[in-house]
Structure 1
Amino acid sequence: MTLRLRADVSTADTDYGTVLLDGADGRYWQLNASASLTLRTLLDGGTVDEAVRRLTGTYAVGPDRAREDVERLLTRLRDARLVRP
């Protein structure tokens, strides 16, 4: 699964993670460092499993919790309509 942001969604990396700006309505979302790592992995063509491995290799989090976090982020991105279907 390759995740793609909508064309009018832009990103900016910060010291604290990533900010997503929806150019269509002006809303923005701030992702923390772990959500940013997840998003980058998925945008680069990585799978959910790869995102889980990167999270567990970078942060003190178990695989079950990491998978829940990845799935939750994907759900929120879809619900906010920031990603292409």
Structure 2
Amino acid sequence: METFLRSELELAVTEYGAVLLDLRDGQYWQLSRTAARVVQALRDGRGRDGAVADLTSHFDVAVERARQDVDTLLDELRSAGLAVR
């Protein structure tokens, strides 16, 4: 089952990663460069597998580790109400 970001989110890229702003309530989250790449992949419609592929092509990380990291971030985004299945 694929995860989608809520449409009320804005992403602003910074030199350290990105800031994710929830327009519904004004809360924001600072994202690392890795998390920012995952969120951008989701926004681009590439989904979980696309995010994993992006991480493995830009960072020196094994596919299984990238998959675990993406899944952890997706769980956190869903728990915060920023993403839905």
Alignment TM class, shorter chain as reference: 0.7 to 0.9
RMSD (Å) for aligned C-alpha atoms: 1.7
TM-score (norm 2): 0.84
Higher strand share: 2
Q: Spell out, residue by residue over 1:31-60, the C-alpha distance to the aligned partner (whole angstroms, 9 max, x if none).
A: 111111111111111021221111011001
Q: TM-score, length-normalised on structure 1? A: 0.84
- Structure 2, unpaired ranges of 5+: none
List runs of 5+ in structure 1 lacking aligned partners.
Answer: none
Match of 1:12 in 2: 12
Displacement of 1:84 in angstroms is 4.2
Distance 1:67 1:79 in 2: 18
Identity fraction in percent: 43
Aligned length: 84
Distance in 2 of aligned mates of 1:5 and 1:17:
20
Q: What secondary structure does 2:61 align onto?
A: coil
SS at match of 2:4: coil
Question: Structure 1 residue runs of 4+, over 4 Å off?
Answer: none
Q: Distance in 2 between matches of 1:62 and 1:84?
A: 26
